[in-house]
Amino acid sequence: MVQGHPESIVQVVVDAQWEDKGDGRALPASFAPEAKSFVGLPEALNGCGDEIDVVAICTPNGTHVDLAACAVAAGKHVVVEKPMGLTVASVESLASQ
């Protein structure tokens, strides 16, 4: 998504499944070497919340609603890849926040 918008600046990259294997490979090394990296969205929002304008959720479908709710609760704009959620009820719950 970001590559399609060259004026975008990646400030933070979050990967909930990244593990440091001790090989010196930083999480965002191949994507955005200048970005701060975090394991988990709550940590990123706590670590640099004011620097984050938009949270783009590009994760497995079953995680979209919970992560979007976390970002909305922190007052962030959110972009979620399709599908927004696995059920209509979960999406309606998110929309009501």
Tens place of pLDDT per residue across the chain (97 aa): 566 777 777 777 787 665 666 655 555 556 677 788 787 899 889 988 788 889 999 889 999 999 999 999 999 999 999 999 999 999 999 999 8
| Single pTM value for the model | 0.76
pLDDT confidence of residue 96: 93
Does the domain formed by 2-95 have CATH 3.50.50.60? no
Annotate 11-57 with DSSP letters as a single string.
-EEE-TT----SSS--TTTTT-TTSEEESSHHHHHHHHGGG-SEEEE
pLDDT confidence of residue 23: 56
pLDDT confidence of residue 67: 94
Cβ atoms 7, 22 nearer than 8 A: no
Domain ranges for the chain, please list them: 2-95
